[in-house]
Amino acid sequence: MTATTQPPFQTSADSLDPTDWNSVRQMGHRMLDDMVDMLAGLREAPVWQPMPPAARQALRGGALPTEPGDLDAVYQDFQTLVQPYGSGNSHPRFMGWVQGGGNPVGMLAELLAAATNPNLGGRDHAPIEVERQVIRWAAEMLGFPQDASGVLVTGTSMANLIAVLVARTRALGTDVRRTGLQGRRLVAYTSVEAHNCVARAMDMAGLGSDALRLIGVDAQHRIDLHALQAAIAQDTAAGLHPFMVVGCAGTVDTGAVDDLSALAALARTQGLWFHVDAAYGALAMLSPAQRPLVQGLSEADSVAFDFHKWAQVPYDAGCIVVRDAALHAATFASQPAYLQRSVRGMAGNQPWPTDFGPDLSRGFRALKVWMTLKTYGAAKLGQVVAHNCSLAQHLARCVDAEPQLERLAPVTLNVVCFRVKAPGVDLDALNADIVADVQESGVAVSSTTRIGGVLAIRVALVNHRTRQEDLQMLLDAVLAAAQQRLASA
Ligand SMILES: *Cc1c(COP(=O)(O)O)cnc(C)c1O
């Protein structure tokens, strides 16, 4: 971070461009150098540190800037107020939540995407072809046919909403887009371990989250198929309209994977749409060791997943893939006069991405995915998945070997849940304190969840930078925090 003397950012009188392009060039080079240094030094930095009140205050202060500022000073604000106080998910010892670590190729792609600044709502231009290629690769990864449809979205939350809406079209026909439900009562099914965004999708689709039946799970935290069948029979008998089952491929709490082949068969016999929330689990398809765990994913009607989690593409990059492209388009496509299509000229090249989801204007998310896949290759991403899963097994063995620790769930993929044991204290409070202590130390970030009614320390291994030594640092920090807490109790 050398303090070079920059010419001030002088804007030309009739646009936002600089009078001297070299000022942008120099600033850009400096930012790029700083960001590369930051990534190269991640391991040595704290994972997370609480924002000092003064920094928070500085970010909150000030009215809408009306007069021009100095880019150099603005960048300095970023360096001192923003960059040091991020959530740390790129750091090798961020293990708190299911979040990806990003990658340097994706970072460069974001620069190119912003510089070229295309709008991927539709029309005939190369960036649309880049996104279509990414969707074909996603279909290939999932074992879907090449004519499956799809679109990049913010994340799996949005992708799940799109799936619910396509399933609604299948159940009620496209008229539902005009007429609404008209009293018809659609019900869907998923397990109690499903991510809350599935319930939110039902809510936002106007079906109501009560219409999502949360089915119990077995000892492996997989959906109980008998209970599922019973619930469908009961709802049918009550005159409701079962229309969808949502399988989980990698739950947030324990990394559990439903029996997807059995769910596919059940959905087929019952005439239900089979959607899978594979937010991070979809990437298990790229690892020969983990692929058998997600067997049946290829049989789904639709799959929601994130490139920004296990595929390590910088935020945000979610994806929905739908087997029946016509049904997918029938759910969203509409053509007001100002979006008229044509067979020639720039308004050609349909269907457009806007025909597959709620967004019209859309950024060039596809570029960072395309460049990440082309540069690293899918096999390398599969190795990241395999490595994270073997780290999870290693951590589980360490926990099992440590008398002061107790494991709280089986390890299927990459999530390990455990807690510190101690006689005569409130274990929920103790473990919650330990997690916060270790977060605040900056050494590592884990999180908490509840397993079987008790508070668990949850370690989710998603980051491509995490190594075995990082797990040791986390465990040492947890045990040290426990000792300190228990000594002062
Ligand atoms: C992260 C996650 C989601 C939500 O995805 P976003 O990309 O955060 O919207 C949904 N389901 C599962 C299983 C997840 O891990």
Domain ranges of the chain: 26-85, 108-376, 380-487
Per the model's pLDDT, the better-predicted residue between 335 and 454 turns out to be 454
Find the DSSP H helices in 143-175. 156-172
> For residue 489, is pLDDT > 90?
no
> For residue 162, is pLDDT > 90?
yes
**pLDDT the model gives residue 2:** 47
* Residue 411 parent element (H or E): none
Q: Which atom of ligand 1 is nearest to the CA of 318?
A: 7
255 lines ligand 1 (CB under 6 A): no
277 lines ligand 1 (CB under 6 A): yes
- Among candidate residues 313, 329, 351, 362, the one with its CA nearest the CA of residue 132: 351
- Ligand 1 centroid to Cα of residue 85, in Å, is 23
Mean pLDDT, residues 330-359 taken together: 89
462's tokens: 């998603």
> What is the average pLDDT score of the chain?
96
**pLDDT the model gives residue 348:** 87
Q: What pTM was computed for the model?
A: 0.96
139's tokens: 């279909």
What CATH number has the domain spanning 108-376?
3.40.640.10
Confidence of residue 5 (pLDDT cuts 50, 70, 90): low
Mean pLDDT, residues 139-144 taken together: 98
Confidence of residue 364 (pLDDT cuts 50, 70, 90): very high
296 lines ligand 1 (CB under 6 A): no
280 lines ligand 1 (CB under 6 A): yes
Specify the residue with its C-alpha closest to ligand 1, atom 14: 279
Residues 172, 456: Cα–Cα separation, whole Å: 42
- Ligand 1 centroid to Cα of residue 124, in Å, is 32
Q: pLDDT per residue over 243-264, tens digit each?
A: 999 999 999 999 999 999 999 9
For residues 462 and 413, the answer to whether their CB atoms sit within 8 Å is no
Is the dihedral angle over the CA atoms 130, 132, 138, 143 positive or is it negative? Answer: negative
- Ligand 1 centroid to Cα of residue 51, in Å, is 26
- Among candidate residues 50, 114, 52, 122, the one with its CA nearest the CA of residue 350: 122
Q: If 0-12 CB within 10 Å is exposed, 13-18 middle and 19+ buried, where does residue 68 land?
A: exposed
Beta strands 318-322; 302-306: pairing state: antiparallel
* Residue 306 parent element (H or E): strand 302-306
For residues 254 and 192, the answer to whether their CB atoms sit within 8 Å is no
For residues 193 and 248, the answer to whether their CB atoms sit within 8 Å is yes
98 lines ligand 1 (CB under 6 A): yes
Residues 388, 467: Cα–Cα separation, whole Å: 9
> For residue 121, is pLDDT > 80?
yes
With a pLDDT cut of 90, the percent of the chain lying above it is 92
Choose which CATH entry (3.90.1150.170, 1.10.238.10, 3.40.50.720, 3.40.50.10490) describes domain 380-487.
Answer: 3.90.1150.170
Per the model's pLDDT, the better-predicted residue between 1 and 169 turns out to be 169
